[in-house]
Structure 1
Amino acid sequence: MKNNIIDYCLEKKGATKDYPFGPAPIVVKIAGKMFALIFEGKDDNFRLNLKCDPIIAENLREQHKSVQPGYHMNKKHWNTITIDGSMLESDIFAMIDHSYELIFKSLPKNIRESILEII
């Protein structure tokens, strides 16, 4: 599942992979702004940090034990999802989409337009 999640993040228009903190975590950005952090674990489980609307973030935390306030992040705006098989991949992809859209919408108009032109 980890490779599917990394690939899904990188399929987003303008998404790039970076390692600003050393060999881990993997940071996925759009226009230099982070929308996903992937912390690889020692087993099949790993963690994924995603930006989230604060109200939605609270709802997700109440609904899913594997969704917690963002690890080393602003806990109001970021969630940490433990990828342990307890959530559907489609639900995780929806959270990635939401994180990407929040960051994309925060970009200046000219940058958003240039990203949309990417084929």
Structure 2
Amino acid sequence: MDAAEVRRLCLGFPGAYEDFPFGPESSVFKVQATGGKAKMFALCALAGLPLTISLKCEPELARQLRAAHPQINGAWHMNKTHWNSVVLDDGLEDGLVRDLVEDSYDLVVASLPARDRESLAWKGLAGG
């Protein structure tokens, strides 16, 4: 997965947008419902080598992923209980990366007030 695919994937979710609060080299992908507060679900230096993305994750799953994949570690400068850093190299399937980005988005949206989740037409963590 390359930088353009990461950007396209992250911006494909309802209410998602790209912001640069840490400077032009760090893309922060946030979700914001109409009138609601924006919340980050991904952080990526799209020009970085290796290409790496930080994603929110449930704590137990985060531990399992780190144990199973050398490309996944606790995210630098983030709460390592809830955030993973994922190196996007050939060692990870694109499908897994897509699932991790979607899970991150879902976790953040699930924390929004009900009216905000409804305005995003969010289907929930189980997709239903």
Q: TM-score band (shorter)? A: over 0.9
Cα gap change, 1:5/1:40 in structure 2, threshold over 3 Å: closer, same or farther? Answer: closer
Unmatched 5+ residue regions in structure 2? 33-37, 123-128
Higher strand share: 1
TM-score (structure 2 length as normaliser): 0.86
Q: 1:109 aligned to 111, 114, 127, which one?
A: 114
Length, aligned pairs only: 116
Decide which of 71, 77, 84 is 2:82's aligned counterpart.
77
Which residues in structure 2 correspond to 1:92-103 (within 5 Å)? Answer: 92-103=97-108
Question: 1:85: Cα distance to partner?
Answer: 1.6
Name segments (4+ residues, structure 1) moved above 3 Å: 40-43
TM-score, normalised on structure 1? 0.92
Stretches of structure 1 lacking an aligned partner (at least 5 in a row): none
The alignment yields a C-alpha RMSD, in angstroms, of 1.3
Task: Supply the distance in 2 between the matched residues of 1:93 and 1:5 (Cα, whole angstroms).
Answer: 9
- Distance in 1 (CA, whole Å) between partners of 2:115 and 2:46 is 34
CA distance in 2, matches of 1:60, 1:66: 9
* 2:3/2:47 contact within 8 Å kept: no
Instruction: Indicate the SS of the match to 1:113.
Output: helix
Partner of residue 4, structure 1: 5
User: Quick one: distance in 2 between partners of 1:78 and 1:39?
Assistant: 16
Asked if structure 2 preserves the Cα contact closer than 8 Å seen for 1:41 and 1:47, the reply is no
Q: Give how far 1:39 is off.
A: 1.7
Return the offset for 1:42.
4.8
How far off is 1:40 after superposition? 3.2
Which residue pairs with 1:33 in the alignment? 39
The separation in 1 between residues aligned to 2:48 and 2:57, in whole angstroms, is 26
| Change beyond 3 A, Cα 1:8–1:42 | closer
